[in-house]
Amino acid sequence: MNMKPRKPLPKAQTEIQVDLKDAETMKCEDCGNSVFIPAFFIKRLSPIVSPTGQEALIPIQVYSCGNCGKVPDKLKQGDKD
């Protein structure tokens, strides 16, 4: 049995209440639709730069327009392709 004193338990974080009436509803830049569906970009990581030395396929989740399929430019910030 370990007799070292234990650190105190972390205090519970207080919940922040947000009124979604104040939030902006995103709309598709092309067709104006406001319904989006989950989609993925798949990035291929070369074995040369991979930490495991093996090729890796990395899914990156984004949202695409449910009507025309366009991914908003705001969600493609890290995508060079």
Side-chain-side CA neighbours of residue 67 (13 Å): 10
What's the pLDDT tens digit per position in 45-71? 999 998 899 999 999 999 999 999 999
Q: Please, are residues 36 and 64 in contact by the beta-carbon 8 Å criterion?
A: yes
Residue 13: pLDDT over 90: no
- Is 75 buried (19+), middle (13-18) or exposed (0-12) by CB count in 10 A? middle
Q: Is 32 left (phi over 0), alpha (psi -120 to 50) or beta?
A: left
Going by pLDDT thresholds of 50, 70 and 90, the confidence category of residue 77 is low
Predicted structure pTM score: 0.63
